[in-house]
């Protein structure tokens, strides 16, 4: 699979020939100024929760593509009411897109829309085929529920974990999260965008190294192949 980091919690994943955009927050992120939003025309747009730093560019991408929106019941229906094609799911469910499957898993966080209205509960995502699997934590604290992932999903090849602290788990807890999901490779996200989530990158990489886990911190716009 290929994962392109779009900044903050945003990802462009190519897996099993399917293009997926997750949690786009680009136009509001000066660090992501070189990402061309108009080029993002995925097959599916997936949102982990309603917070604006995950949904800001969702409508722009839906308008310029034939993407189907997949999210939790409340977030999906929010966009469904505006006329977009959506798939509304909830925790524990699996949605199949050809040979690619998406499972929604628990995340310990909150979820509301920019106007403060209710956006259900946040989720993490497990995307997998017969041969590849990526876990995307979404915004979450470290939680024992992560131990359920290796019990219920294929082996995780790479885990995309928030590491920025303050609003989500920080890197020390993310090391334990990687151990819980049994991932040997981690892509760190959700850091540096705002002052409270500034990351000490060297310390983070070292903490993972000491646990014999590789931490990738790609530049915004960079593509990683896993």
Which residues are near Ni ion by CB under 5 A? 51, 139
Nearer to Ni ion, 101 or 137 (CB): 137
18 and 97 in contact (C-beta within 8 Å)?
A: yes
To Ni ion, the closest distance from the beta carbon of 51 in angstroms equals 4
Query: What's the min distance (Å) between Cβ of 109 and Ni ion?
Result: 6
Which of residues 51 and 78 has its CB atom nearest to Ni ion in the complex? Answer: 51
43 exposed, middle or buried (CB, 10 Å; 0-12, 13-18, 19+)? middle
Q: Which two structure tokens, joined as six digits, stand for 51?
A: 């917070």
**CA–CA gap between residue 224 and residue 189 (Å, rounded):** 13
CB atoms within 10 A of CB 50: 24
Decide if residue 74 touches Mn ion (CB under 5 A): no
Nearest distance, CB of residue 90 and Mn ion, angstroms: 20
Question: For strand 100-106 and strand 123-128, is the pairing parallel, antiparallel, or unpaired?
Answer: antiparallel
Choosing from 139, 165, 173, 192, the residue that interacts with Mn ion (CB under 5 A) is: 139
Which residue shows structure tokens 């992932």? 149
Q: Which does 57 bind (CB under 5 to 8 A by kind): Ni ion, Mn ion, none?
A: none
23 makes contact with Mn ion (CB under 5 A): no
Nearer Cβ to Mn ion, position 132 or 165? Answer: 165
Applying CB under 5 A, which residues contact Mn ion? 53, 139
């Amino acid at each position: 699979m290929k994962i392109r980091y779009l900044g903050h919690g945003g990802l462009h994943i190519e897996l099993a020939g399917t293009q997926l955009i997750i949690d786009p927050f680009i136009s509001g992120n000066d660090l992501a100024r070189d990402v061309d939003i108009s080029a993002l025309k995925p097959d599916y747009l997936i949102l982990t929760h309603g917070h604006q730093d995950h949904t800001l560019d969702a409508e722009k991408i839906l308008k310029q593509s034939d993407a189907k929106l997949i999210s939790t019941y409340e977030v999906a229906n929010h966009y469904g009411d505006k006329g977009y094609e959506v798939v509304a799911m909830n925790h524990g469910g699996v949605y199949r897109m050809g040979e690619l499957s998406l499972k929604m898993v628990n995340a310990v966080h909150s979820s509301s829309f920019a106007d403060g209205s209710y956006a259900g509960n946040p989720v993490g995502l497990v995307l997998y085929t017969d041969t590849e699997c990526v876990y995307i934590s979404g915004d979450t604290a470290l939680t024992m529920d992560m131990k359920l992932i290796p019990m219920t999903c294929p082996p995780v090849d790479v885990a995309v974990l928030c590491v920025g602290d303050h609003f989500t788990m920080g890197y020390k807890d993310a090391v334990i999260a990687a151990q819980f999901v049994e991932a040997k490779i981690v892509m760190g996200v959700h850091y540096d965008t705002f002052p409270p989530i500034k990351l000490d990158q060297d310390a983070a990489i070292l903490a993972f190294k000491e646990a014999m886990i590789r931490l990738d911190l790609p530049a915004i716009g960079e593509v990683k192949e896993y």
